[in-house]
Structure 1
Amino acid sequence: MDTSDSPENARSVTAGSAGSASGRFSLGVADLTQAAVFAALIAALGLPGTINLGSSGVPITFQTLGVMLAGAVLGPKKGTLAVVIFMVLALAGLPILSGGRNGQTALLSPTAGYFIGFLPAVIVIGVLTALMMPRYRVVWGALINLFGGMVVVYACGVIGLLVRTDLTLWAAVSTNGTFIIGDVIKAVVAALVAAQVHRSWPGLITPWRSGKRGPTGTAGVAG
């Protein structure tokens, strides 16, 4: 007798789906520790300071590399938490943004959109990376980092510039041209680092694609 459509089977599938969703979004002590470490990493990447080119006032910073790494290494859940911790500390007044600024100063400046853009950027990178797993592909990882770390952050930054300055849309978009080469390098570096991390410590990111399971004891990494 075919029992595939029986109430018991339906309840089993529902329970399994609920358990999978619960596991996907739950956080343990190890998860919180990893998020805290990456929040500290993002802050540390602000220590070299900023480089200001042109008259737009938009600084070049290494902290976008930290955001890319958080999403690519930790995924959407822990990576987002890491960035949230970092942003909350900055907004609380700690001078952990590049150039010794804090979050309040950043929000009052024309570059507020770039700071705000850290959050959607890590979410996008984390989600797309989780969809790619369990095999981390360096090329796809770099493209994901470019999309989240550049397109998303630039879009938020442009909106901030339009709100806080008298720049035209084209002028606001053009201010990002200075950062493209550096951000491409950051995206590639983040992908290479993430590939090595996932090879050495498999299972950091739970795959989001239906039917995909991470390998036992090893992580697939492709070029």
Structure 2
Amino acid sequence: MSQTDTAVNGTASRLRNRWNATDLGLIAVFAALVAGSAMVPGIAANVFGIPITFQTLAVMLTGLMLGPGRGFAAVGLYTLLGLAGLPIFSQGRSGLGILAGPSAGYIIAFPIAAAVVGWLATVVIRRTTRARALLFFASAMVTSIAVVHTLGVAGIALNTKASLGEAFLADLIFYPGDVIKNILAAVIAVALHRAFPDVLVRRVKRINN
């Protein structure tokens, strides 16, 4: 392959990867979805007052639908708007003060989780067309445990007087709900990818080709 062909192919690859108006629209829509999920009244589930909400469902669905880059951008946009003062965190909270509270680790984890589960979703889409719902669920659970719960426990321990053991025990109450929410996220993502393959499935295949 000549240097000219290499340059042309490199340029074409960058063009394929560039976000267009549709991508920006999807980022805005999913950021709004995450914000909306936080508005559903939550139940204060543990001694630190951290509520059970639908946010993790929305975050995982965002990553599974948009992939790593756009997923991170969508949830990151939501997070930045909340920190800037919009009352879009759970229980209508907002502002930088939330980073000093027990839920700080979860808030920080959300954009990272969207990127990680989005990357895992692209791996699943590249490798197989079978059992995607199961693999999406596994991806979401791995991400929940490795990112959301790990940073959540760290945030509780850092911002309260709790030990890591106490923070870990407080976090365990969220696992049953996360299993259910990750199942829902996986099933919804598979259905949406079938209905709208251009959102991520065909995009991944174009980039690979």
TM-score by length of 2: 0.89
Residue 60 of structure 2 corresponds to residue 65 of structure 1: no
Opposite residue 207 of structure 1, the aligned amino acid is V
Residue 186 of structure 2 corresponds to residue 191 of structure 1: yes
Residue 71 of structure 2 corresponds to residue 74 of structure 1: no
Shift of 1:22: 4.9
Shift of 1:145: 1.0
> What residue is the counterpart of 1:104 in the other structure?
96
Tell me the secondary structure at the aligned position of residue 81 of structure 2: helix
Shift of 1:53: 2.1
**CA contact 2:38–2:89 (8 Å) conserved in 1:** yes
**CA contact 1:114–1:153 (8 Å) conserved in 2:** yes
Opposite residue 71 of structure 1, the aligned amino acid is G
Sequence identity of aligned pairs in percent? Answer: 36
Rg: which structure is higher? 1
Residue 31 of structure 2 corresponds to residue 32 of structure 1: no
Partner Cα distance (1:96, 1:23) in 2: 33
Partner Cα distance (2:160, 2:133) in 1: 38
> What residue is the counterpart of 1:217 in the other structure?
none
Once the two structures are superposed, residues 105-132 of structure 1 have per-residue CA deviations (whole angstroms, 9 ceiling, x without a partner) of 3212122111000011001011111111
Within-5 A mapping of 1:154-193:
154-193=149-188
Tell me the secondary structure at the aligned position of residue 187 of structure 1: helix
Shift of 1:36: 0.5
> What residue is the counterpart of 1:116 in the other structure?
108
Partner Cα distance (2:70, 2:193) in 1: 15
**CA contact 2:83–2:96 (8 Å) conserved in 1:** yes
Partner Cα distance (1:119, 1:103) in 2: 17
Shift of 1:49: 2.1
Shift of 1:164: 1.2
Tell me the secondary structure at the aligned position of residue 184 of structure 2: helix
Tell me the secondary structure at the aligned position of residue 166 of structure 1: coil
> What residue is the counterpart of 1:207 in the other structure?
204
Match of 2:143 among 145, 148, 165: 148
Partner Cα distance (2:58, 2:100) in 1: 23
Deviates more, 1:12-21 or 1:85-94: 12-21
Aligned length: 204
**Larger RCO, structures 1/2 (Cα 8 Å, 6+ apart):** 2
Partner Cα distance (2:6, 2:68) in 1: 25
Residue 128 of structure 2 corresponds to residue 133 of structure 1: no
Opposite residue 174 of structure 1, the aligned amino acid is L
Shift of 1:18: 5.2
Shift of 1:103: 4.0
> What residue is the counterpart of 1:20 in the other structure?
13
Change (3 A) 1:132 1:14: farther
**CA contact 2:73–2:111 (8 Å) conserved in 1:** no
Shift of 1:93: 0.3
Change (3 A) 1:165 1:209: farther
Tell me the secondary structure at the aligned position of residue 122 of structure 2: helix
Q: Pairwise CA RMSD of aligned residues? A: 2.1
**CA contact 1:132–1:207 (8 Å) conserved in 2:** no
